Structure 1
């Protein structure tokens, strides 16, 4: 099974898969090693409205991603890169406004992504896939069909970096995706089984939130 099989990976998902912090992803992009993008539903510019896939400047975003690995859920972008007409891979950096004409556009941290092609290029260059697979095999209890220990590690990392989602079902689906990506054959427990395991943790965290 190819290690990368998606068209896009959010930086949150990428950080979990590569076992690094969100700040590490942004630092790599700021250093020119990774291209990060987002999808704009709508934005105003001096040359008219734009929508669709745009490139983000990691240097502009560094202040949102703390050295300790934390980051806020929402952030504002003020400029984006779009392909320069007739110039190959060159980009034009333009400033954007929201629908009301306010400076900048609000985006969610989960809307920042890298392409599947970029994901695979980077992990192949740094042999990340090999390391991740070895760690998963070594830590998977032989008596269990699924790597529940791995799920709890992903859960802790998720809560530490971005907190809880809006619902338990959303969290269960996210954890199921982690099983699929960590499994060599794409096998994963069903969402209801995952939800039963997460329910006591979810209840305790919601009571202390």
Structure 2
């Protein structure tokens, strides 16, 4: 039995998929071309209780999307747009807002595919015909996000690339390991956004 299609992509996955920076994705979202979403626990916006999936404004979290300089990985949201709502709501409880990390920011897959169709972007995850993609890049993305979430970044990008090569080796018994250049091309946008130095 086939699994249903995926519902969300993370910002990291989208930036790798489109070979762009997370700042670019945030810019397109601020221009209304995409919606960046996350999930929150119960909050109050005046008399209204909100929980679950909400839309975020990238401009409210601008320090997370800096180019060329170190950026924080967590911001505070103080206004949200619940599903089917027309106006932004201000979070009043908790009064300090709700923390959100880059790793928790999502874009619906139907919006990702529609954006690709509109701008004639090839999908990195698709293989030709019925052939499987040569390497499990989606699996590597998940391993990369878990590594950063659980342990942060290593001192150098080269170490991160080596760790991802080790991940491919462990998953395939050493039979299918992409070269370091291919891995680096996918790791670099994430490294650039989290370290801000592009190295």
In the superposition, the TM-score normalised over structure 1's length comes to 0.59
Aligned 8 A contact 2:15 2:21 in 1? yes
Deviations 1:46-97 (A, max 9, x none): 124311001112232234311327532101111011245xxxxx52210114
Matched residue SS, 2:52? strand
Q: Distance in 2 between matches of 1:131 and 1:40?
A: 30
Please, which of 121, 129, 147 is the counterpart of residue 128 of structure 1? 121
Give the RMSD, CA atoms, in angstroms.
2.8
Q: CA deviation at 1:124?
A: 1.4
Q: Distance in 1 between matches of 2:20 and 2:70?
A: 12
**CA distance 1:69–1:112, shift in 2 (3 Å):** farther
Matched residue SS, 1:38? strand
Q: CA deviation at 1:21?
A: 0.9
Q: CA deviation at 1:156?
A: 3.5
Q: Distance in 2 between matches of 1:69 and 1:40?
A: 28
Q: Are 2:106 and 1:75 equivalent residues in the alignment?
A: no
Aligned 8 A contact 1:64 1:72 in 2? yes
Please, which of 73, 92, 96 is the counterpart of residue 103 of structure 1? 96
Match of 2:8 in 1: 8
Q: Distance in 1 between matches of 2:74 and 2:90?
A: 19
Aligned 8 A contact 1:72 1:109 in 2? no
Deviations 1:102-159 (A, max 9, x none): 322111111111101001000111122268879x99xxxxxx8443332233233333
Match of 2:59 in 1: 59
In the superposition, the TM-score normalised over structure 2's length comes to 0.62
**CA distance 1:131–1:109, shift in 2 (3 Å):** closer
Q: Distance in 2 between matches of 1:25 and 1:131?
A: 16
Match of 2:151 in 1: none
Q: Distance in 2 between matches of 1:147 and 1:56?
A: 36
Aligned 8 A contact 1:10 1:112 in 2? yes
1 or 2 for the larger relative contact order (CA 8 Å, sep ≥6)? Answer: 2
Matched residue SS, 2:44? strand
Match of 1:37 in 2: 37
Q: Distance in 2 between matches of 1:51 and 1:75?
A: 18
**CA distance 1:13–1:71, shift in 2 (3 Å):** farther
Can you give the 5+ residue segments of structure 2 that lack an aligned partner in the other structure? Answer: 128-132, 135-174
More helix by share: 1
How many correspondences in the alignment? 145
